[in-house]
Structure 1
Amino acid sequence: MGDNNILPYPYEFRDISDEEKSLLNKLHTYPDASNSARVGPKGYIVNKAFKKDAANIYSMPLRPSDIFVTSYQRSGTTWTQELVWLLASDLDYEKALAVPLTERYSFLEMFMFVPDAGLESFIKTVSTNSENFNKEKMMGLVNWLGTPVSRALATTPSPRFIKSHLPMSLLPPKLLDTAKMVYIARDPRDVVVSYYHHTRLFMLTGFNGTFKEFWHLFHQSLCKTGGWRDYFDEEMTKQAKQWIEDNLKDTDLRFPLNK
């Protein structure tokens, strides 16, 4: 990717508040849990490592054959990835069984979840919680996961299948005009329950609080990549509100327009 193709990155990264850092440190076992920043028009939470490839992602050359599967985390992304890949691959079940989904899709921002600092501490945490631990293999895996994929995508053959949990404003601005995208929106009540269990099991997050405490993080948009509500632009909000009015008219449910 030449420098001439890099669009000016339109957003500034800013630190989260000391109060937010203290809360994240309290509720996470991983020592860099507070290594977070806000970016974008709605102040989405990202790991600071995102900064090293944010402009490349934003300026990534797109192809008409690209297929993006995007969502807020824990919204059914994996199921949808598999369905989309099969539909685009003439129902090639043999290849789907033989090649892991992680190799058929590029996870655009996976690198930001892998720590730049405190890696040894993280490896030590994993080793004490895992049987048959192999440090060399773990280091190789972590280094692979921590490598940004935006540049590698330049040599990936078409069609490229790309997964992302980033909000639209952090993705290439011509995405909807150029490529194909499937966006998944899930009931936030289901999202928060699934997300809670995920963060407790996933060692790169190391959440050790209660569900009530996690709900507070979720409600205050302190989960990674921000708040569920923040992913909805004006048009999507209108559609969600209309769906509630059409299908849940006998309830007092309303789409949460404001915090």
Structure 2
Amino acid sequence: MTAPAPADATRLRPRTAPHGCSSAPARSDSAGRGTVLPPPTIVRHTAAPTERRPMAGIEFEAKALDIDPKKMERLIVEAGGVRRTEPRLMRRYVYDTIPAVPGRWVRLRDTGAVTTLCVKQISTDAVDGTHETEVTVDNFEETNALLGLMGLTPRSYQENRRTSYALGAVRLELDEWPLIPPYLEIEADDEPQVWAAAEALGFDRERLTSFNTTKVYDLYGIDLDAITDLRFE
């Protein structure tokens, strides 16, 4: 005949720690009333922080050179555009890549609102000929110092003034640089938007260029690569 189970048998059954928990060894209490299990220790797993990935892509842009800023603003507003910012000073350091490659460089830029670090690659002078990979950084001078520790020494420091506008989804940047006349940069997410905005502003395609800033300076007989410190007087 089987002996009946004791009344407190349920208290003697071992407990299994739930998933994600660990339990300490069992012990008896001072009254000898059987096994007493300590409360489980919860193990919490913290998710890894989200990785911030660089932005990369093709720039679709064209420039209208030698413009009058006041007249240009009037044309933008008449076409339905709006001014997004006041004129602001922008500063940048420019570096050669390692190894140096013609048409490719590193740019550290403070826009007055955000500081970015990017690698620019010019493949052609077409509207879609510029490739850019860019990340946001926290501090202009500290990032320059960090790049110096990595072996990147700036070959030039440059300043310009920029006023930003929007015409629908198209970004319009009115840029003023030392030593040359102002120009308007038309930038969009695809080529048709660039040409549509140019037409709305009254520009023929023949009036526009996709030259980078170095080549724009060349048009005025100035070797930008030979200027190590470009500032407004």
Give TM class, smaller chain.
under 0.3
Q: Scaled by the length of structure 2, what TM-score is found? A: 0.27
Q: Scaled by the length of structure 1, what TM-score is found? A: 0.25
- Higher percent of residues as helix: 1
Higher RCO structure, 1 or 2 (CA under 8 Å, sep 6+): 1
Tell which structure's C-alpha radius of gyration is larger. 2
- Higher percent of residues as strand: 2
